[in-house]
Amino acid sequence: MDNTHSVATLIDSTTSKIQQLQKAFAELESHRAVTLNLKWKELEEHFHGLEKSLKRRFHELEDQEKEFENRTIKARDLLVKKEADIVAKEQASLDKLQEKRDAAVFAIASARDKHRKVSSDDPAVVTTEGQNAQPSTEETPQENTISDGDLEEMKSPENEHEGVKSYPQLVILCKEMDSEGLHKFISDNRKNLAAIREEIPFALRAAINPASLVLESLEDFYRAESTNTDGKKDSNLLGLRRTCIMLMECLSTLLTSLDLASASEVITEEVKEQAKEIAEEWKPKLDALDLDDSNGNSLEAHAFLQLLATFGIASDFDEEELSRLVPMVSRRRQTADLCRSLGLSEKMPGLLYELEHVIDHFYLC
């Protein structure tokens, strides 16, 4: 009986203990839920902050991408506009050049018609006394006024420098092969350049090797430019370059007065190789030339083309590249001769053989 009571008491006690334990456990569970809930809120706020930061960075990247695309579009449009402007300038330059060529052709045709009328109406010059005078050297071809005997006499050693009348110093400088002295003499007497130009071809006959003398005179064509402290083409440099071109032209004049055999003795294969080396050295410097800046009056392009023409080495260079240089010298009155000598007349139809006779305001030297 006592054992039964103790068991019941123990059971009741156990139940009570269980209820107490359940209550404590429930209380513990309530405290645990609050702690976890607080931690989750902190984590949630942290993740929301990360999300906002990522979205803000994403929008910034989108804005930068749009700005880059806009800049790219503007740059492309600007490039297209510049290309169009360049094409328009080139076309305008070509149109202007064609107008001048057309005007030159018209002037030549008019001059020829006028000359024909004068020749047919007035075949001889009449003096004030009514007697027929001898025609001038400009109106009468030289071959019609000089006999074969006179030609032989002119070729004789006594008369080979007869054309040098006003400036005998030219003969001395050429005989001594003094290219530097020749440059200085021409520079000092530039006021009388026209007369000097006429006498130089005769003076060159006195040189042991006139072609080498002219080639030596070209040494400072670009070297003088590199010594310029201000980097500008001053008057001395321009004068030197004009003298170089003039000496090559005078050598060409001398060569045209010689027969083929004599000319080949002046322009030997060795001389041609030397001229080709100079041309190869000059050629890269022409790549920087601008058609608009040259205004059809480029001394550099003129000198290069004259070098090829005088020494007969044009065949060693690309014809298309030479044609590209012609517009850069279109305002120089020697252009027609150069085109003819270089074999470019067919590629440049506006430059006719007679173009060098046009009035100076069409092609200025």
26 versus 251: the higher-pLDDT residue is 251
Q: Tell which phi-psi region holds residue 130, choosing left (phi > 0), alpha (psi between -120 and 50) or beta.
A: left
What SS3 class is residue 295? Answer: coil
Instruction: Quickly count: other Cβ atoms within 10 Å of residue 14's Cβ.
Output: 10
**Packing angle of the helix pair 299-311, 335-342 (nearest 10 deg):** 40
**DSSP letter for each residue of 152-215:** HHHHSTTTTTTT--S-THHHHHHHTT-HHHHHHHHHHTGGGHHHHHHHHHHHGGGSSSHHHHHH
Q: Is residue 278 scored above 70 in pLDDT?
A: yes
d(CA 47, CA 41): 10
Query: Does the structure show a pLDDT above 70 at 165?
Result: yes
Distances (CA, A) of 12 to 25, 26, 116, 225: 20, 21, 154, 123
Closest CA to 341 of 317, 318, 312, 361: 312
Answer whether 0.75 is exceeded by the pTM.
Answer: no
**355, exposed or middle or buried, with CB in 10 Å at 0-12, 13-18, 19+?**
buried
Q: Are 248 and 306 in contact (CB under 8 A)?
A: yes
> Which band of pLDDT confidence, cut at 50, 70 and 90, is reported for residue 57?
confident
Q: Which residues contact 360 (CB under 8 A, 6 or more apart)?
A: 333
Instruction: Report the chain's C-alpha Rg in angstroms.
Output: 47
Confidence of residue 358 (pLDDT cuts 50, 70, 90): very low
**pLDDT by residue (tens digit) across 315-330?**
899 888 888 888 888 7
Q: Which amino acid is at 161?
A: H
pLDDT score recorded for residue 363: 39
Tokens matching residue 183: 């440059």
Q: What's the whole-number mean pLDDT along residues 286-307? A: 82
pLDDT at 243 over 60: yes
DSSP string, 227-274: T-SS-S--HHHHHHHHHHHHHHHHHHHHHHTS-HHHHHHHS-HHHHHH
**What is the dihedral sign for C-alpha 157, 161, 162, 167?**
negative
Percent of the residues in the chain that have a pLDDT greater than 70, as a whole number: 66
- Report d(CA 205, CA 203) in Å as an integer: 5
- Strand, coil or helix: what is 132? strand
Residue 108, pLDDT above cutoff 90: no
Average pLDDT over the chain, rounded to whole?
A: 75
- Residues 207-213: what's their mean pLDDT? 94
Q: Identify which of 198, 306, 288 has the alpha carbon closest to the alpha carbon of residue 242.
A: 306
